[in-house]
Structure 1
Amino acid sequence: MDFSIASILALDGLTNGAVYALLALATVLVFAVTRVIFIPQGEFVAFGALTLALLQAGKVPGTVVFLLALAALAAFGDIVDGVRHRKPARRVAMNVARTLAWPVIASAIAFAVAGKGFPLIVHALLTLALVTPFGSLIYRLAYESLADATVLVLLIVSVGVHFALVGLGLFFFGAEGFRNPSFWEQRFSAGPLTLSGQTLIIFIASVALIVALWLYFERTLQGKALRATAVNRAGARLMGISSSGAGRLAFTMAAFIGALSGLLIGPTTTIFYDSGFLIGLKGFVAAVFAGLSGYPLALVGALAVGLLESFGSYWASAFKEVIVFSSILPVLLWRSLRDPHTEEH
């Protein structure tokens, strides 16, 4: 291997690592706030890429039907909760309207723009509007009533949600794979490296989102409330911070990050209905490097996973996935020996 090949592999690894970093940050965020090891994080990636592909093809994506169905179930849950706790009818109606507003508006826009030849950026923004609400809806329907359950129970629920989303992805998108057009076709040469415009967009978007998350958690009241919930859920409740609201917000942000990752990675590889699992799992490996708690370490771990995958595919392409996922074993062993074992309360 000479320097030029190593440079190309390093660039490819850092590009993939930038996407894995976003997924790792989302995984750490969700676990820190809700204690949920969110295995279906990668499904948001697939939903984002495939929704954009169908919009580009002039079709109304199945995401719209799925979103409306989940919103209807959540609205029905609001009604049942209102009747059970004898809430005022006006308050129940407001909760139902709040639940249905965004999904209905986004779905109506999707029906209006489908097949009208709108530019790629419009379809990309609409994709984010369609996929992002899935986070809050899935949390409400699958996790909110189990918020105080053990991590193991929440993990089992995550496995069930993963299989459900994969099956629904097959139903709504089909078995065919899609590869989206690049957002920027320009290419730049620097010695042996050829840098595409899409690669630059991936780096810029990843850095911008990471900085935005840092500013959000450090400078805003909502961000500080999320951090307080992550540190001490009981204490946050005593201070008037809603753990349910924090969970919904964390899942919404995770869905947005996943959908954005799907838009970024869609032009670089063919995405199938089940492609999100492996992509999300690599983000999870990076999050485990950080102990599911530290954002900077999650970023470093994601870049390491990207580089390991890139160089592993060069030396042993048939075993690149084995190499990546085996790297988690020494990390788990080190953390097991370093950290004391405590029972969960």
Structure 2
Amino acid sequence: MDSTIALILIQDGIVNGAIYALLAMALVLVFAVTRVIFIPQGEFVAFGALTLAMLVNGNVPGTVWLLLIAGIGSAVMETWGAWRTRRYSGLPKVYAMCVAYPLLMWWLVPMLAQMQLPLILDVLVTLALVVPLGPMLYRIAYQPLAEATPLVLLIVSVAVHFALTGMALVFFGAEGWRTPAFVSGNVDLGFTMVSAQSLFVVATAVVLIVALFLVFEKTLYGRALRATAVNRRGARLVGISTNMSGALTFTVAAFIGALSGILIAPVTTIYYDTGFLIGLKGFVGAIVGGLVSYPIAAAGALLVGILESFGSFAASAYKEVIVFTLIIPVLLWRSLTSHHIDDEE
């Protein structure tokens, strides 16, 4: 291996690591606020990529049906909850977001798909379809079990993953899809040539990470999420709704997952089940950060990306083994150096 090959591998590793860093931060956020190990994070990556690819090719994405099904399910559960508590004031908003909005997208998206919109508009339509699935999924699968143990929530996550994977196969099919590059050409950095698409992916990831930092530090909702992450019981005592925090967290996670899928769709073929492995690699980065530290999780995800890149060059058949083996010494080290922390400590 010479320096040219090493620079190419580092470039690929940083691009992949930027995506894994976004997913790792989303996983840390979801776990900190809701205690859910969000295994279906990878499904949102696949949904974002496949939805955009189908729109670009003039097809109606199956996400319109997923959104409609999830919206009706959320509305039914909210109606049942309102009937039990005899509080009906919030139902009009629920029906608008969970029934009227999915029906509007179900009617509008087929017309937009036939119009062959510019790529950036297709991206916006994709986000409008995929991101609302996050809070709906939380309402259906996780909110009723919000006080359950992390083990129960993990089992639910596994079940949700298999359910979403099966629905993705039904609505998207087994065919792989790709999208056009957002930018084309190469950029000369002096010591190496870098594709403009790679720089676009890394720059977008950095901008999103900075934006998330500003949201958590400067906005009221961001501080509410931080308070819930630090102490759920204390957050409830000062009037912060843990249900609102959970729904908002899943919205952010769905946005990050969908955007990550959109970013990688031009550089790799995406299938209905591709997101699982991508999400797992983000999870390895999150584990490096102990599911609590955002900067360490992001750094761990970059390490995963670079390790995967060099592993694929040295032993492509074992690159996944090399990546996932990283989790063993990290878990061993954390088990020896950390102490048990109670759920509400």
Same fold (TM over 0.5): yes
Deviations 1:155-199 (A, max 9, x none): 000000000011111111111111111011122234563322211
In structure 1, what is the Cα distance between the partners aligned to 2:300 and 2:90? 46
Moved over 4 A (4+): 342-345
In structure 2, what is the Cα distance between the partners aligned to 1:237 and 1:44? 29
Aligned residue in 1 for 2:69: 69
In structure 2, what is the Cα distance between the partners aligned to 1:311 and 1:91? 53
In structure 2, what is the Cα distance between the partners aligned to 1:176 and 1:162? 20
Tell me, yes or no, if the aligned pair for 1:45 and 1:259 is still in contact at 8 Å: yes
TM-score by length of 2: 0.97
In structure 1, what is the Cα distance between the partners aligned to 2:210 and 2:105? 27
1:114 is paired with a residue of what secondary structure?
helix
Pick which of 44-53 and 183-192 moved more.
183-192
In structure 2, what is the Cα distance between the partners aligned to 1:212 and 1:73? 32
Letter of the 1:215 counterpart: L
In structure 1, what is the Cα distance between the partners aligned to 2:235 and 2:133? 25
Pick which of 111-120 and 256-265 moved more.
111-120
In structure 1, what is the Cα distance between the partners aligned to 2:182 and 2:108? 22
Tell me, yes or no, if the aligned pair for 1:106 and 1:126 is still in contact at 8 Å: no
Aligned residue in 1 for 2:227: 228
Tell me, yes or no, if the aligned pair for 1:57 and 1:115 is still in contact at 8 Å: no
Identity rate, percent:
58
Aligned residue in 1 for 2:38: 38
Letter of the 1:243 counterpart: T
Aligned residue in 1 for 2:162: 163
In structure 2, runs of 5+ residues without a counterpart are: none
Deviations 1:266-301 (A, max 9, x none): 011111000000000000000000000011101100
Question: CA separation of 1:243/1:4 partners in 2, compared to 1, >3 Å: closer, same or farther?
Answer: same
TM-score by length of 1: 0.97
In structure 1, what is the Cα distance between the partners aligned to 2:158 and 2:132? 20
Question: CA separation of 1:133/1:15 partners in 2, compared to 1, >3 Å: closer, same or farther?
Answer: same
Aligned residue in 2 for 1:78: 78
Aligned residue in 2 for 1:335: 334
Task: Note if 1:25 corresponds to 2:54.
Answer: no
Aligned residue in 2 for 1:256: 255
In structure 1, what is the Cα distance between the partners aligned to 2:209 and 2:342? 33
In structure 2, what is the Cα distance between the partners aligned to 1:191 and 1:109? 47
In structure 1, what is the Cα distance between the partners aligned to 2:192 and 2:99? 48
In structure 1, what is the Cα distance between the partners aligned to 2:154 and 2:82? 29
Letter of the 1:260 counterpart: L
In structure 2, what is the Cα distance between the partners aligned to 1:273 and 1:193? 35
Aligned residue in 2 for 1:95: 94
Pick which of 282-291 and 182-191 moved more.
182-191
